[in-house]
Amino acid sequence: MALCLVSALLLLLLLGWPSSAGPNRCVDAAEACTADARCQRLRTEYVAQCLGRAAPATCARARCRRALRRFFARGPPALTHALLFCACTSPACAERRRQTFVPACAFSGPGRAPPSCLQPLDACEHSRICRPRLLAFQASCAPVSSYPDGCMQDQAPSCRRAFAGLVGTAVTPNYVDNASARVAPWCHCGASGNRREECEAFRGLFTSNRCLDGAIQAFDSGWPRQVAGWDPEHRLLQVSSVPGGALEGGCLLSLLPILTLQPLL
Ligand SMILES: *[C@@H]1O[C@H](CO)[C@@H](O)[C@H](O)[C@H]1NC(C)=O
């Protein structure tokens, strides 16, 4: 029994609870994805593609991006969106969120300086994968002046879907730092000459778009139940899937009171 209690406490620590750093929704989202076979398989696939098997400085970007598109197309939206839109209150959380979709391969590089946004924009407009996704993003996320608050009613879910649809395209967006929830594709509008306005309009769809910001923030209020860290079912699911079955039977029963107390501690 004592051994059982010790292993139970050890397990709770391993599961990341209780955490001195406070709640980390991006960790919760990652755990929930791990616990789901499909999400886990698709994530393993894009990580394998995006980390590159050749020299560490290179990556198979086209394959990485294809695997990312597949992750969002085939993964359970509640879980894939939780990984993309997890709300953070600490830099550690935001850094994890920024790194989730392997930005070194999917988002930035190969050079150190970002290119002009006209480059990914032109590439997107000539891509039969990217173009309809960018149009959908514009249609679902762009502010509309005829609405009272500038954003279409109930547009948040379709805006988030359209934003997620861009991950893995020529205009892949990501969080720009670990101190904010600002997003942008990896490009700037510094040297865009006579197409400056077009460039700014495109970049502004990401960087100064309160409908997009609102849609991302709104995800938190509807934080999916299967991801919620306090959900005892979710924790139990993980506990019961520990390999070796060391906590099965009577031991698992003695663990139940601890798990129920969890939200109170
Ligand atoms: C946040 O980003 C800065 C700048 O890139 C970096 O130096 C710092 O280590 C990051 N913080 C965390 C918690 O990862």
Q: Spelled out in words, what is the top-level CATH class assigned to the domain 2-264? A: mainly alpha
How confident is the model over 8-65, as pLDDT tens digits? 443 443 444 444 456 799 999 999 999 999 999 999 999 999 986 655 567 889 999 9
pLDDT value of position 222? 86
Query: Where residue 193 falls among pLDDT bands split at 50, 70, 90?
Result: confident
CB 87, CB 175: distance < 8 Å:
no
CA 247 vs CA 7, 35, 236: distances in Å? 8, 17, 11
Distance in Å, CA 92 to ligand 1 centroid? 8
Query: Where residue 259 falls among pLDDT bands split at 50, 70, 90?
Result: very low
pLDDT above 70 for 144? yes
Please name the residue whose Cα sits nearest to atom 3 of ligand 1. 178
Distance in Å, CA 95 to ligand 1 centroid? 7
More confident residue, 67 or 5: 67
DSSP 194: G
Which run of H or of E encompasses 178? Answer: none
Nearest by Cα to 102 from 160, 164, 49: 49
Nearest atom, ligand 1, residue 92 CA: 13
Total-model pTM: 0.79
pLDDT above 70 for 143? yes
pLDDT value of position 154? 86
Residue 91 CB–ligand 1 contact under 6 Å: yes
- Taking each helix axis from N to C end, the angle separating 210-221 and 77-85, rounded to the nearest 10 degrees, works out to 120
**CB contact set of 77 (below 8 Å; sequence gap of 6+):** 161
* Token pair recorded at residue 117: 């946004």
Cβ density class 217-231: b for 16+ within 10 Å, e for less: eebeeebbebbebeb
CB 41, CB 109: distance < 8 Å:
no
* Token pair recorded at residue 119: 């480059």
Nearest atom, ligand 1, residue 91 CA: 13
pLDDT value of position 20? 45
Residue 180 CB–ligand 1 contact under 6 Å: no
Backbone angles phi, psi at 128, to 5 degrees: -75, -15
Nearest atom, ligand 1, residue 179 CA: 1
pLDDT above 50 for 117? yes
Nearest atom, ligand 1, residue 95 CA: 14
**Ligand 1 binding pocket mutation candidate from 88, 90, 95, 112 (most atoms within 8 A of CB):** 95
> Average pLDDT, whole number, for the chain?
82
Query: Where residue 248 falls among pLDDT bands split at 50, 70, 90?
Result: very low
Q: Establish how many alpha carbons lie within 13 A of residue 221's alpha carbon, considering only the half-sphere containing its beta carbon.
A: 7
Distance in Å, CA 96 to ligand 1 centroid? 10
More confident residue, 97 or 57: 97
* Mean pLDDT of all residues in 141-170: 92
pLDDT value of position 112? 79
Give me the torsion for CA of 210, 216, 221, 226, rounded to 10°: 170
CB 68, CB 50: distance < 8 Å:
yes
Q: Which amino acid is located at 8 in the chain?
A: A
Nearest atom, ligand 1, residue 90 CA: 13
Q: Which sequence spans correspond to the domains of the chain?
A: 2-264
**Out of 60-64, 91-95, 220-224, least confident range:** 220-224
pLDDT value of position 228? 76
pLDDT value of position 249? 41
pLDDT value of position 132? 98
pLDDT above 70 for 265? no
